[in-house]
Amino acid sequence: MHKVTRHVNRQYFLLGVIVLALTACSQAERNLYSEPPETLAPLQPESPRPSTTTATAAPTTTVAPTAVPPATDGLPFYVVAEDLPGLSFVAEATVPTVNVYSSDQLVEQTFEFANPNLSGTPLVFLVEDLNDLQAIKVLLPTRPNGSFGWINADQVRLTQHNYSIQVRLDDFAITVTDHEKTIFETTIGVARENTPTPRGRYYTTELLRPPESGTAYGPYAYGLSGYSDTFESFLGGPGQLGIHGTNEPWALGTNVSSGCVRLHNDDITYLVETLQLPLGVPVDII
């Protein structure tokens, strides 16, 4: 596990990170949309290597048919055992508009989401149930927090990863796991008591670079699928939650923000540039 020692409030902390609130931060923070931010391409799983062929024909042999592995319990296809711990599926939109329905019958439409989203990032959903790859149940990036719906599998492509994030507000801590093993942990700044961060299950929806690295957002910001319960709008934005850097590192370990999670700039940079967390990482705020 990557370790860095830093003195904050007379304690020693590990490096850590997580997601950014695009608009629900401290009053001193600027709206990221006041200037068009540089949108970073989502970090995608590495593409499989192309198959190779040889020009020389091999001798003809008779080979018994290879048995197809049975589907993994609870999934519509086979997944090797070592990929199961902490496994998450992400649905990335392949059409300009994704329709969301109230049930897996795909009859009553409840939402629609544009692709790309407002920040110019490809639209992604965290999958809750693959449902035999027909109508996929997904967590939605909208109010009310925790909303879910069903989307047509033909409108998305699926990727997978094994990362997760946990934010423990009372402990001022964030933890990143890979295959259910802790790989990153650090102290964070959290919301003030009068502007609390809503607890719940969210996921990372976008990665942004603020126009200037010296702002209250630091060098990077992850947007989350959740929204503030206190602010319907904030500095011109929708009150979206997130995880980002800071220009007040001495305030880490305290209640300082208007709803976002703040990290040391070195920590958020480590998450983005070294760990290269993909979009669609589940974030549990407890």
pLDDT of residue 124: 99
How confident is the model at residue 68, as a pLDDT? 63
Angle at the Cα of 33 from the Cα atoms of 282 and 222, rounded to 5 degrees = 20
Cβ neighbour number for residue 120 with a 10 Å cutoff: 14
Nearest to residue 22, comparing CAs of 195, 198, 238, 265? 238
pLDDT tens readout for residues 148-167: 999 999 999 999 999 999 99
Spatial contact of 30 and 215, defined as CB atoms under 8 Å apart: yes
From residue 110, how far is each of 69, 95, 106, 197, 227 by CA, in Å? Answer: 37, 18, 10, 26, 19
Q: What is the pLDDT of residue 132?
A: 87
Q: What is the pTM of this model?
A: 0.77
SS3 (DSSP) at 206:
strand
The count of other CB atoms within 10 Å of the CB of residue 22 is 32
What's the pLDDT score for residue 67?
A: 65
**Starting at the edge strand that comes first in sequence, how are the strands of the sheet with 156-161 ordered?**
109-114, 97-101, 148-152, 135-139, 124-129, 88-93, 156-161
Structural domains of the chain, with CATH: 9-40+162-285 (2.40.440.10), 88-161 (2.30.30.40)
**Helix (H/G/I), strand (E/B), else coil: 126:** strand
pLDDT of res. 69: 78
pLDDT at 72: 86
d(CA 189, CA 248) in angstroms, rounded, equals 10
Taking CA 248 as the corner, what is the angle to CA 247 and CA 251, rounded to the nearest 5 degrees? 155
Alpha helices in the chain (DSSP H): 131-134, 265-269
pLDDT reported for residue 60: 39
113 touches 189 (CB < 8 A): no
> What residues of the chain score a pLDDT lower than 50?
2-63, 236
Residues 121, 156: Cα–Cα separation, whole Å = 15
